[in-house]
Amino acid sequence: MRHMKGSDLLKQAVMVLALALLTLGVIAVQDVPAAQGPCADDIAKYCKDVKPGDGRLARCLKENEKQLSPACSSSIDESKKRVKEAHQACESDARKFCKDVKPGQGRIVKCLREHEKDLSLECRDKMAQPNKKR
């Protein structure tokens, strides 16, 4: 196993944050049935045997991205844009508050949420966006 430098770990942590936010943005939260949202039909068609959680639905959609409906693809593209913005907004906060947190399973997002009152306004706003209804 390769030993990772602190900057590599931070990059990995931010990518995990991005994936978590993407998953929240496209599929909403695990508690919300997959039968809702712009990717509902695609999930039913391509991911019907995939158990929701831990990014499995997002991975399934990624694996089938060439077959996805225009509405689902558009939703994913919009989520990717929000993820990029969140990454830019929260990178320094993740470095400051979560540098010792092991990436994966939503730990970075949880850490940022635990420090919500201390986060930059820009990061707080971006973290709240995926959960907002349009």
For the chain, which residues make up each domain, given as ranges?
A: 6-131
- Pairwise pLDDT comparison (98 vs 7), residue with the higher score: 98
Give percent above pLDDT 70 in the chain: 69
Query: Half-sphere exposure (CA, 13 Å, Cβ side) for 100?
Result: 0
How does pLDDT run across 94-124, given as a tens digit for each residue?
A: 999 999 998 877 788 889 999 999 999 999 8
pLDDT for the residue 21: 54
pTM: 0.61
Is residue 57 classed exposed, middle or buried when 0-12, 13-18 and 19+ CB atoms within 10 A define those classes?
Answer: buried
- Residues in contact with 1: Cβ distance below 8 Å, sequence separation at least 6, in sequence order: none
**Residue 7 in this model has a pLDDT that exceeds 70:** no
Mean pLDDT, the chain, whole residue set: 77
